[in-house]
Amino acid sequence: AAKRAGRSTFADYDPSLNHNEHARRNLELDLRTAIAEGQFTLVYQPQVCLKTGEWTGKETLVRWEHPVRGRILPGEFIDIAEDTGLIIPLGEWIIRQAIEEAASWDEPHRIAINLSPVQMCNPNLVTVLTNAIAEAQIDPQRVEIEITESALMHDSETNVELLHRLRDLGVRIALDDFGTGYSSLNYLRAFPFDKIKIDRCFVSEMLERADCRAIVRNVIMLARALGMETTAEGVETKEQYDWLRRHGCLEAQGYYISRPLESEMAARPAASREESGPDQLPAPEQIA
């Protein structure tokens, strides 16, 4: 067996598990250690206002600094964290840490935080957020919670109620990855989101495909008619950026604007980042 760090070194070998199940099992055991030992960091991806070109917010993205495997992206561990319930302590840490870091940024940008549907069942959620905001002494309007359509699918009444309680705290609510879940326009009626995030899958094919273009254009119009803001995700080219601006999208986020920034970089004002010169700009993140 390969050498592994932490408790999974001699993870009880179960011959009935196939290779994938075994790998997942090991990752799950490592995840428990990781949470206990605090092996996570947060990076922040800027969101730009398409009218002014200025950064208005940053989205929090979690990274696992695995002692053996190096940096692991959330696509590899969030679903394990959800299945095991470990997303609850991890998510609480992310909320506290992100809000604390954002409170010390030089610029008062908004801080967007992803919330897993599983976290919405955590009875402590409102308390955790309330305390984090109070301790950091941050304006709650700077805090934006991103939820996906799947969070509204099950038990939607309780969740809509929860969203209202969050709103009462003064935080903003964004509907993430719009158009990829079991999209139902009913969700837009059930709760007045502050913002709709148009998923990357539409944005990335928008200029090549008339159908994607039609979807993006109409989501922008729908959002506007409902009094909601729009952020386009995964903007990678100047052409996409310009098209979105011309079509009245309010904000954009993606590699064309900036890769996610390491925490120290996210804290500094844009001017000092530019002055530091291209050599010192953060390197594109390594894909694990």
Among 94, 133, 143, 196, binds ligand C2E (CB under 6 A): 94
Radius of gyration of the CA atoms of the chain, in A: 20
H or E element, residue 94: helix 87-103
> Judging by DSSP bridges, how do beta strands 251-252 and 229-232 pair with one another?
parallel
Nearer Cβ to ligand C2E, position 9 or 150? 150
Among 78, 86, 102, 128, binds ligand C2E (CB under 6 A): 78
Q: What 3-state class would DSSP assign to 197?
A: strand
| 265, 214 contact by CB (below 8 A) | no
H or E element, residue 178: strand 172-178
User: 111 has which bridge partners?
Assistant: 58, 143
**Cα–Cα distances in Å, from 110 out to 51, 56, 115?**
17, 6, 16
Can you read off the two tokens belonging to residue 183? 């999209």
For position 231 contacting Mg ion by CB under 5 A, the verdict is no
- Residues 183-202 interacting with Mg ion (rule: CB under 5 A): 199-200
From the list Mg ion, ligand C2E, none, partner contacted by residue 80 (C-beta under 5 to 8 A by kind): none
Nearer Cβ to ligand C2E, position 9 or 56? 56
For position 206 contacting ligand C2E by CB under 6 A, the verdict is no
- Residues 22-61 interacting with ligand C2E (rule: CB under 6 A): 45, 60-61
Nearer Cβ to ligand C2E, position 76 or 107? 76
For the bound state, the minimum distance from the C-beta of residue 253 to Mg ion, rounded and expressed in Å, comes to: 8
For position 92 contacting Mg ion by CB under 5 A, the verdict is no
Can you read off the two tokens belonging to residue 224? 């506007």
Residues that bind ligand C2E (CB under 6 A): 45, 60-62, 73-75, 78, 91, 94, 114-116, 146, 176-177, 200, 233-236, 254-255, 260
